[in-house]
Amino acid sequence: MKKFLIFLIIVTSPSYAEADKNQNIIPKWEISDKEGFLENLTWKKVEKPLLKFSNIINKKYKFESDVKALGRSVTLNDFYYPEISNYVPNAYVESSNKSITAFVRGLSKTRFCQGENFSKTCRDGIFDVDFNLINYDKFSFNPKLTIQSLSDRGTKFGEASSLGFKSALKISPKWSLAFGGENIIHFDNKSDLGRNFYLVGSTFYPLNSKEKPAILFLNAGIGSDFYGYGGNGYIARTSCLGTPNLTGEGTDFCNWGPIGSITIAFNDRISLINEWFGYGYGTGISYRPLKESSLAFSIYATDYIRNFPNYIKDHCQNDSCETRLYGGISFSF
């Protein structure tokens, strides 16, 4: 009988800290039998409660999410994620765990070319390298080198090179703002990518509470020249600091227009992306094949909606554009 009482008392004694309605921690108590076999039963106070009130009573757990950029890809709490856009910049502060992001973008055909997709005379590509020059938790500044000529199609390898930048600021746990420019300083007069300043904001919404959750990413803002090309929603016209450019018509003044992207990252390996980048509209996927690597591949389709944007019908064969493909490979180290 005594053995049964001992077992009963031990099992029914409190095993966790409890809390009152004012969320005060009530310390744990345990049995102390100093005088012998339950002759004088007393209770001893344990100074350190085992669990916090929020974990015991409410069963609610807070998950902090910190998104940083790796070029057009991102990290979440230092876990690599794929691209969330290809042409449209994101506003996130660059990750402090990288020094350089290298990115190659390929294009199956330029819109003005009269040949076929992937033909030697029509395909194109660029090589981007951005450097993590200044990096803090809430601010980063990255210069970006672009080499447009990767073949001898009209220009020698390495020509049409230019320099841009991205400055990003984290303004709240979920919102970031960036001002930057693509191809702003030209090293020769052969670049035809435009002088593309931009101002964008980015936010994100985790869709579940997994360690590597599905996430909705939103980027939106305005941009000049390539981003303000044609009939994509003209906003303004300002100096873009030089020629050659795409929309200046011989002057250094360029058009500005809206840009944006919406992306669902289903997990840390694959994402579905829609982006409006001024020159056109693209839909694609990005895939990160290696679990512990930032390496990401992407492929997109553009000009697949007939005569959208409307102005493109004036630049394609037979007044109608055919679907073109673009995509890239990126790696940060």
The values of phi and psi at residue 225, to 5°, are: 60, -105
Q: pLDDT-derived band of residue 35, with 50, 70 and 90 as boundaries?
A: low
Per residue in 125-164, pLDDT tens? Answer: 999 999 999 999 999 999 999 999 886 666 777 788 999 9
pLDDT at residue 320 tops 80: no
Least confident of 26-30, 100-104, 163-167, 221-225: 26-30
Residue 49 confidence (pLDDT):
45
The better pLDDT of the pair 282, 316 is held by 282
- pLDDT confidence of residue 107: 95
- Average pLDDT, stretch 170-188? 96
Percent of the chain at pLDDT above 90?
65
pTM listed for this prediction: 0.80
Quickly tell me which residue has 């076999």 as its tokens. 37
pLDDT given at position 115? 85
Task: Please state whether the peptide bond connecting residue 309 to the residue before it is cis, i.e. omega within 30 degrees of 0.
Answer: yes
Cα–Cα distances in Å, from 56 out to 14, 15, 17, 23, 64? 13, 12, 8, 11, 20
Q: Where are the alpha helices (DSSP H) in the chain?
A: 2-12, 53
Confidence at 310, pLDDT banded by 50, 70, 90: confident
pLDDT tens digit sequence for 263-275: 999 999 999 999 9
Rounded to the nearest angstrom, the gap between the alpha carbon of residue 57 and the centroid of all alpha carbons in its chain is 36
Residue 130 near residue 143 (C-beta atoms within 8 A): yes
Q: Specify the amino acid at residue 283.
A: T
Are 92 and 66 in contact by the 8 Å Cβ rule? The answer is: no
Position of tokens 């992937």?
118
Distance CA 123, CA 109 (A): 4
Find how far residue 219's CA is from the centre of its chain: 9
Structure tokens at 302: 């553009």
Asked if 82 and 288 count as a contact pair (C-beta separation under 8 A), the reply is: yes
pLDDT on residue 296: 98
d(CA 82, CA 266): 10
Query: Which residues are 77's β-sheet partners?
Result: none
**At residue 328, does pLDDT exceed 50?**
yes
Burial of 237 (0-12, 13-18, 19+ CB in 10 A): middle
More confident: 3 or 263: 263
User: Amino acid identity of 71?
Assistant: G
What's the confidence (pLDDT) of residue 57? Answer: 37
Q: How far apart are CA 151 and CA 157, in angstroms?
A: 5
- What is the model's pLDDT at position 61? 40
Structure confidence at residue 230 (pLDDT):
79
Neighbours of 296 (CB within 10 A): 27
pLDDT of residue 149: 82
CA distance 265 to 96: 22
Number of residues in the chain: 333
Calculate the dihedral angle through the C-alpha atoms of 227, 219, 185, 124, rounding to the nearest 10 degrees. Answer: -60
Residue 319 pLDDT: 64
Interval 64-102: pLDDT, tens: 799 999 999 999 999 999 999 999 999 999 999 999 999
Residue 211 has pLDDT above 90, yes or no: yes
Q: Is residue 49 reached through a cis peptide bond, with omega within 30 degrees of 0 on the bond before it?
A: no
Q: What is the mean pLDDT of residues 223-236?
A: 88
Average pLDDT for the chain: 84
Residue 231: its pLDDT value, please? 64
Q: Among 218, 217, 223, 236, which Cα is nearest to 279's?
A: 223
